[in-house]
Structures are given as structure tokens and as C-alpha cells.
Structure 1
Amino acid sequence: MNPIELQRSAPDADRLVLRLWIPKTLFWFQGHFPQWQVLPGVAQIHWAMTYSESLTGDLRYHSVDRVKFQTPVMPDSELRLELHHEAARQLLHFCYYLVDGESERVASSGKIKLCR
């Protein structure tokens, strides 16, 4: 259900950066869409919440704000995920970058409001 984690770093106590491999065998691609597989946005939000647990502790999902899906994520892609926990505002910022060799472009980004 989760991608393959290639690398993880924590530049600060409130930030996490991951490199992820998105294999075509992931559950999320089944039936989405049969003729042109694309990673669903709900998977990207789910992964942001899952990987952010080391930053957010016992905070839970409340709502999603300002999510933009800019570039479709296809099977067998590499992503870089940046997470930033803004504790004072109980916000989790996320941004997925599609990695293509030395270049990157934004795949999706947004904010997740957290609560206790």
C-alpha cells in the first residue's frame, strides 16, 4: 500500500524529506484508471499523513486545504516528498516533486489541518 522508501532525511525537527519509488504493482493503481494509470490524490494525502507521524505526534487529520494536483504521477515514478509541520497552527504542509533525472517538477502540494 505504501511506496518504496529510497531515502529519508530530517533537516530540522519540524521537517522531513523522503525519496519514494512508486511501483506499478501498488494497490492504488488498480482500476484508477484501466487505460491510463495515475496515482490517486487520496493516496498522496494518505502517505503525507503516514510519513508525518514522526513530526506530528498524536495529532490527527482534520481537513485538507489548498491542495493542488499539478502533474499526474504515473506507475514506476520517483517522487521527493517534503513535509513541514507548523505546530503553532496545527498545519502539515506537503509537496510532492516528480523526479526525472536531475530535474524535478511539482506533482502536488497542499496543507492538512490537524487536531487532537
Structure 2
Amino acid sequence: MWKESKQEPDILAERHQGTLIELDLCPQSDLFQFQGHFPEQPILPGVGQLDWAVRFATDRFSLTQTIAEISQLKFRDLMLPEVQITLKLDLQKEKNRVVFSYTSGEKTFSSGIIKLSDQ
């Protein structure tokens, strides 16, 4: 049974430098994405990571295009609740895409490219 709960992590800090944005996030254990995935050791599903990257990129860059494709999507390590992570979003206007990665220190959890429509 799914419980109504918050769907985005707390934003601890935000840094902007040109078309690069870094968000320090803390995914709390009671977030919707952790429900049922998995009861004995919650992990943040890849679809949740992708959803946050798209949501934050759309909001922070005021994107109006639709998503045309997701490419080079890689999941390298498990993302656990209550662990501070950094979401890096790099808007590459000339290539009509946003490159993203989730990291903590030297560890990369996941990364990929959000290709935007030519609209």
C-alpha cells in the first residue's frame, strides 16, 4: 500500500555558474520513491533519479522543450536515503541537451544526457 508522501529531496545548497547548476540534496527515507524499493534496505530507483534530474533541469533552466531522448544513462552505485548527494546539471544549448550526474565526493551514483526536442 502506497502512502502519500513528499516526492522531492530537501535542497541543502544551490550553486550557479553560467549554464552549470549544482544542487546539494538530501533524499529522506520517507520520500515516495523509497516506498517498496526495498523494505529491508531502501534504495533510490533509477526512474526516481531521472525524474529529479528532469524536474530540476526544467525548473532551473526554464526549459520549454519536451524530452526527445535519454542517452548514455549509467547507474554505477546504489543511492541510499539520508546520504547527501550533489546533482550537477549542465545545459549545453548548442547541443540542445542537459548533461546530469549524481555524485558524493569522488563517487558517482549515476549520470546521463537529457536530449531536448528541437521545438
- The 2-side partners of 1:57 and 1:28 are apart by 24
Alignment pair present for 1:37 and 2:42: yes
Please list every run of 5 or more consecutive structure 2 residues that lacks an aligned counterpart in the other structure. 1-6
Assess if the C-alpha contact under 8 Å between 2:21 and 2:89 holds in 1: yes
Give the CA RMSD over aligned residues. 1.2
Percent identity between matched residues is 30
The amino acid across from 2:116 in the alignment is L
Assess if the C-alpha contact under 8 Å between 1:6 and 1:20 holds in 2: yes
Alignment equivalent of 1:95, drawn from 98, 101, 104: 101
- Give the corresponding residue for 1:55: 61
- Give the corresponding residue for 1:106: 108
Structure with the higher strand share, 1 or 2: 1
Structure 1 segment 3-42 matched on structure 2, within 5 A: 3-12=9-18, 14-42=19-47
Please list every run of 5 or more consecutive structure 1 residues that lacks an aligned counterpart in the other structure. none
Structure 1 runs (4+) deviating above 2 angstroms are: none
- The 2-side partners of 1:56 and 1:113 are apart by 15
**TM-score, normalised to structure 2's length?**
0.87
